Amino acid sequence: MSATLTITTDEWRYWLRSKLALAVVALFVVILVGVSALTNLRIEAEAHEREHHQEVSEETFLDQPDRHPHRMVHYGHYVFRAPMPLAIFDPGLDAITGQTLFLEGHRQNSATFSASASSADLGGLSWLTPALMYQLFAPLLVILLGHGAIVREREAGTLPALLAQGLTGRRLVAGKLLALALFVTLLLVPVLISGVIALSAGERVLAAASLLGVYLVYLLIWVALTLLVSTLAENRATAIAVLAAAWLALTLVLPAAAVNTTTQTAPLAGKIETELTMLTEIRDLGDGHDVDDSVYNDVQASLLAEYGAASIEELDINIRGVLAQKAEADLTETLNVYADRRMAAEMRQSDRVSAHGWLTPTLAVAVASRTLAGTDLFHYHRFLRQAEALRINFVQGLNRAHAEALSYTDDINRNRDEASWERARIDASNWQVLDSFQYESASASDRVAGAQWSIAMLAAWIAVLTLLLAWAGGRLKP
């Protein structure tokens, strides 16, 4: 063991004496801190703004005067997607997806106004986040520091001397591995800090710790890969060239190429395309605004039977409200079928892209990171679903009030004159059916479970590389 530690200490001493290594690491840390601070500020500002908008939107809805209930159904409500606590580290889809969703009766709108749509366009890599710094650039640091670890000894002729001391190849490799592992662990301190900040914002320890864990494994994969190449290469120039090429392929090319193949093998029909079919289906459902719509004959008959009334005017409740509820429920069922289909298709695409994590750990860690942070597609869909739940809840609440608090006679005579118009209103206290919107992420354990495949991919990568490294260390000869 002490031999291993000696190697480790020696490697650290070597780095500390290398101006290049110190400069590059210092630069990385400075940039990382800068990017972290900026992302933190941005997300906090966004959170603040969206929270504020949410409050204003709710107050405005509740402050509406006495009105015809169906007017409130069309008046609608806005919800805003609040960023997740860990978005300060990995904002994920936050900038790409719409932040504002308008909820109203009879429709499911899409979320609009993404940050990326209005931002200055400066190329594909300009959305720099702390997560991206680790996914793309931390491996470069590992390569820079580690590529010479073994091959350097070979080039300088110190390798035979070391092995002649009775040190085994595996010991030597283990010592270097420990040195680099220590380095990447220290490199993760900023993730730890982001995690602690997120904890104070309500994040769970399990999620933050898992996030730290996947990045540690990811960087260890690069450590193992770097040492493997350093052990097998004949000289430093070859080692760094091979590693740089591997970096290019694994971090830049493969993830983007996975997107290309996925869009072609699992294309996603546009929303307009599917809506065309949906609209035809919806038209067959009947118009809830129209009491005489033949679609509702059954409802009308059973209501009359239930209340023992001869005509709809004699009913204790307003049939227009009842029909509005029925129509909204039917419509929503259809809308949800299409929405679910759309989300399922999107998830299929995402899963297909994620499967490329077997080919590149960068994709695996990126997917795991978004999932754990709650900034992935699943959570975006979750937002849409929670918003939809809120929508159907307040719309049906208003429809119920329509049925129970407004008489049928007043209702149908509303357009007769000014006074009738005034009479066809219900009390503003009915607007309280609107629940306060609080977007909630999946539980930490669900998120970990959601990331299980990506975590398995990372585990497979580290396992295979460790085996290869043990083999390469074993055959290390002067």
Partner 1 sequence: MLQSEVWFLLRDRAFRVWVLVVLLFSGFAVWSGLAEVAQQRQSIAFLVDADSTDRTSEFSAQGDWGSAAYYSFHLTYDPPSDFAFAAMGQRDASSWKHRLRMLALEGQIYEHDPGNPELALIGRFDFAFFAAFVLPLVLIFLLHDLKAGERTAGRFNLLVASAGNDNRLWWTRSLLRAIGVLIAAVGPLLVGGVVSGTSAASLLGATAMVTAYVLFWTVVCLWLGSRQHPASVILASLIGVWVLLGTLLPAGGRVIIDRLVSVPSGADILMTQREAVNDAWDLPVADTMAPFVARHPEWTGYTHTGDGFDWGWYYAFQQVGDQTTESLSAAYRKGRARRDQLAAWFAIAAPPALLERWLQKLAGTNVEAVLDYEESVRAFHAELRAFYYPGLFGDAAFDPARIDDLPQFSSSE
Q: Among 14, 102, 307, 358, which residue sits at the site for partner 1 (rule: CB under 8 A)?
A: 102
Pick the closer one to partner 1 by CB: 169 or 357.
357
Six-digit token string for 29: 């840390």
Q: What 3-state class would DSSP assign to 197? A: helix
Site string for partner 1, 388-417 (x = CB under 8 A): --------------------------xxxx
Closest CA to 156 of 239, 235, 231, 225: 235
Q: Measured from the CB of residue 405, what is the shortest distance to partner 1 in angstroms? A: 18
Pick the closer one to partner 1 by CB: 274 or 300.
274
Q: Measured from the CB of residue 240, what is the shortest distance to partner 1 in angstroms? A: 5
Closest CA to 142 of 216, 213, 211, 219: 219
Pick the closer one to partner 1 by CB: 95 or 174.
95
Q: Measured from the CB of residue 75, what is the shortest distance to partner 1 in angstroms? A: 5
Pick the closer one to partner 1 by CB: 92 or 169.
92
How far apart CA 39 and CA 190 sit, in angstroms, is: 13
Q: Measured from the CB of residue 63, what is the shortest distance to partner 1 in angstroms? A: 12
How far apart CA 97 and CA 89 sit, in angstroms, is: 17
Q: Measured from the CB of residue 126, what is the shortest distance to partner 1 in angstroms? A: 4
Q: Where on the phi/psi map is residue 322: left (φ > 0), alpha (ψ -120 to 50), or beta?
A: alpha
Alpha helix positions (H), 65-204: 69-75, 115-118, 130-132, 138-146, 151-156, 158-164, 169-187, 189-200
Site string for partner 1, 7-26 (x = CB under 8 A): -------------x---x--
Site string for partner 1, 23-42 (x = CB under 8 A): -x--x---x---x--x----
How far apart CA 317 and CA 407 sit, in angstroms, is: 7
Interactions with partner 1, residue window 130-169 (CB under 8 A): 136-137, 140, 144, 147-148
Interactions with partner 1, residue window 174-193 (CB under 8 A): none
Interactions with partner 1, residue window 341-380 (CB under 8 A): 346, 349-350, 353, 363, 366, 370, 376-377, 380
Q: Among 4, 8, 36, 97, which residue sits at the site for partner 1 (rule: CB under 8 A)?
A: 97
- Does 267 bind partner 1 (CB under 8 A)? Our answer is yes
Pick the closer one to partner 1 by CB: 117 or 463.
117
Interactions with partner 1, residue window 196-235 (CB under 8 A): 235
| DSSP designation for 314 | G
Q: Among 9, 168, 263, 297, which residue sits at the site for partner 1 (rule: CB under 8 A)?
A: 263
Interactions with partner 1, residue window 418-477 (CB under 8 A): 418, 421
How far apart CA 93 and CA 98 sit, in angstroms, is: 9
Six-digit token string for 24: 């590059």
How far apart CA 45 and CA 469 sit, in angstroms, is: 46
How far apart CA 85 and CA 269 sit, in angstroms, is: 33
Helical packing angle, 138-146 and 19-62, nearest 10°: 170
Closest CA to 100 of 81, 73, 122: 81
Q: Among 92, 105, 139, 195, which residue sits at the site for partner 1 (rule: CB under 8 A)?
A: 92
Closest CA to 134 of 203, 209, 213, 191: 191
Residue type at position 376:
D
Pick the closer one to partner 1 by CB: 96 or 196.
96
Q: Contact 450/210 with Cβ under 8 angstroms?
A: no
Q: Among 120, 164, 305, 310, which residue sits at the site for partner 1 (rule: CB under 8 A)?
A: 120
Interactions with partner 1, residue window 273-302 (CB under 8 A): 273, 275-276, 279-280
- Does 260 bind partner 1 (CB under 8 A)? Our answer is yes
Q: Measured from the CB of residue 415, what is the shortest distance to partner 1 in angstroms? A: 3
Interactions with partner 1, residue window 42-81 (CB under 8 A): 49, 53, 57, 60, 65, 67, 71, 74-76, 78, 80
How many residues at the interface with partner 1, by CB under 8 A?
98
Q: Among 123, 157, 166, 308, which residue sits at the site for partner 1 (rule: CB under 8 A)?
A: 123
Q: Contact 218/133 with Cβ under 8 angstroms?
A: no
Closest CA to 96 of 79, 113, 108: 113
Q: Kind and range of the H or E element at 296?
A: none
